[in-house]
Structure 1
Amino acid sequence: MSAPRVVVVAEGYLVGEAIEVALSARDFEIDRMASPRSRQELVEARREISRIKAGVGLVVAEIDDLGQWRDALALIESVRMRWLVVTGSRNPARWGALVAAGCQGVVPMSAGLDVLTRTLWAVSRGGPGMPQSAREEVLAEWERLGTSRRSLILRISALSPREWQVLEQLKEGHSIKAIAETGGVSEGTVRSQVRAIRQKLNVKSQLAAVAAYQQATELNYGQTG
């Protein structure tokens, strides 16, 4: 049986290239693309993946970085196929969110090429992407955060890259004027972005938006095995 066709979506070019070379040497047929960052890029990714008829999708991301985790979640939720995530993170709640979104499994970066190869083969044949016990553990960690906190994290993760940047600058104490000057836009534009952030986060003030951002990004999860 020929090896399955795999779409590799990597945040870093060099990491993606290294995995492509390694898997190609194992006779996998690889298509590589950059991680989509916008709704339009997600539409284009879905169209391209449908065109090439890949059997498995492989996302390579450092999900301790909330932005990379957000992008991985959006891709898995938007493009329905059998996904695996390879990451250096050992954050069980974030693993659990990926599995809850439809990911077949998460493979630690430290697991090595042999483990990844076996897992890709298993997933391409309709099998599991991780042991059932590990799957249940990470899903439980995600559920343990509670409905309100999970909802907050997902609302934060759904912000656009620019909204994300503005909120980070607000958290760091920058004024609307300073953010506008840094971004080369008017203060009115930044105020409109802040209003959009407040609406998406369902909060009434700029201060509450910053507090929500801190709560979502400063969660200190335990480690999974």
Structure 2
Amino acid sequence: MQVALASDLSLIAEAVRAALVSRRIDVTILTWPGLSRDDPVHRQLARVGPDVALLIYDADTPIRMAGAAALISEWDGPWVVLTGVPRGASWGGLREAGAASVRPNLTGLDEIESLIVMLSEGLAAPCADELDRLLGDWQVAQERVAGLQRRLNRLTPRELQVLDLLSSGVPVRSIATRLGLSESTVRSQVRAVLHKLGVRSQLAAVALLRSTEYVD
């Protein structure tokens, strides 16, 4: 059985991989969320050819939810998401993105293995009905934030990365250095982000994000 694993926490990803390998499950860790023009995620997934994909990630802000949704959309097989975000509307958001199962990140190895086997056999996860109910809560929450998530979902992975850094207070020049891009390229991406969000300044974009961050 082959599993593709993605996480923004490399040490946790390695620990989970080791635990699953001990159960005779082959695991390949994806290069994510770091971006590579030469080896994008969809190409990595095609090369791995997984039976199930596992995402360990806290989709606790609109930007991070958009990042999770973008990753899940790269492969139409079953995704299991382990998250530290409490059960609530955001779990419904992950369901809408395409997750077959969402579980707390403290879920035991036996349950994770059982889910992987179940989904690899084409069966529905035990929590599927609960996720469908939470999907309704998510859709209500989206109306409350006036479609911000839908606008974020239109951003490219690189634009999401730039916006995430901007919202963390990183200036454009430092973003360019960190991402290995020219400052003019980053400024062009910032303009694209502002246009897609429907705001006129970086401050307005950050203020919009902070005013609409959802909590369960």
TM-score scaled by length of structure 2: 0.80
Cα gap change, 1:74/1:37 in structure 2, threshold over 3 Å: closer, same or farther?
A: farther
- 1:143 alignment partner AA: Q
- Aligned pairs, how many? 208
Match of 2:16 in 1: 19
CA distance in 2, matches of 1:39, 1:104: 27
From 70, 93, 114, the equivalent of 1:74 is: 70
- Whether contact under 8 Å (1:11, 1:34) holds in the other structure is no
SS in 2 for 1:105: strand
- Whether contact under 8 Å (2:30, 2:44) holds in the other structure is no
Rg larger in 1 or in 2? 1
Q: Given the alignment of the two structures, is residue 29 of structure 1 paired with residue 26 of structure 2, yes or no?
A: yes
State the 1:152 CA deviation: 0.3
From 7, 11, 14, the equivalent of 1:10 is: 7
Match of 1:220 in 2: 215
Cα gap change, 1:198/1:26 in structure 2, threshold over 3 Å: closer, same or farther?
A: same
- 2:160 alignment partner AA: S
Q: Given the alignment of the two structures, is residue 137 of structure 1 paired with residue 137 of structure 2, yes or no?
A: no
Unaligned runs of 5+ in 2: none
Q: Say which is worse superposed, 25-34 or 118-127, in terms of deviation.
A: 25-34
Cα RMSD (Å) of the superposition? Answer: 2.9
CA distance in 1, matches of 2:202, 2:61: 23
Match of 1:104 in 2: 100
Q: Say which is worse superposed, 66-75 or 112-121, in terms of deviation.
A: 66-75
Which structure has the highest helix share of the two? 1
Match of 1:50 in 2: 46
Match of 2:85 in 1: 89
Q: Given the alignment of the two structures, is residue 165 of structure 1 paired with residue 165 of structure 2, yes or no?
A: yes
CA distance in 2, matches of 1:187, 1:35: 23
- Whether contact under 8 Å (1:6, 1:28) holds in the other structure is yes
State the 1:39 CA deviation: 8.0
- Whether contact under 8 Å (2:79, 2:101) holds in the other structure is yes
Q: Cα deviations across residues 21-42 of structure 1 (Å, max 9, x unaligned)?
A: 111111111111232344847x
CA distance in 2, matches of 1:50, 1:106: 23
CA distance in 2, matches of 1:77, 1:189: 26
Cα gap change, 1:163/1:64 in structure 2, threshold over 3 Å: closer, same or farther?
A: closer
State the 1:123 CA deviation: 0.8
SS in 2 for 1:119: helix
- Whether contact under 8 Å (1:156, 1:216) holds in the other structure is no
CA distance in 2, matches of 1:63, 1:189: 28
- Whether contact under 8 Å (2:31, 2:41) holds in the other structure is no
Unaligned runs of 5+ in 1: 171-178
Cα gap change, 1:215/1:181 in structure 2, threshold over 3 Å: closer, same or farther?
A: same
Cα gap change, 1:33/1:195 in structure 2, threshold over 3 Å: closer, same or farther?
A: closer
SS in 2 for 1:220: coil
- 1:120 alignment partner AA: I
TM-score scaled by length of structure 1: 0.78
Q: Given the alignment of the two structures, is residue 155 of structure 1 paired with residue 157 of structure 2, yes or no?
A: no
CA distance in 2, matches of 1:39, 1:216: 30
State the 1:205 CA deviation: 4.8
- Whether contact under 8 Å (1:8, 1:30) holds in the other structure is yes
- Whether contact under 8 Å (2:72, 2:99) holds in the other structure is yes
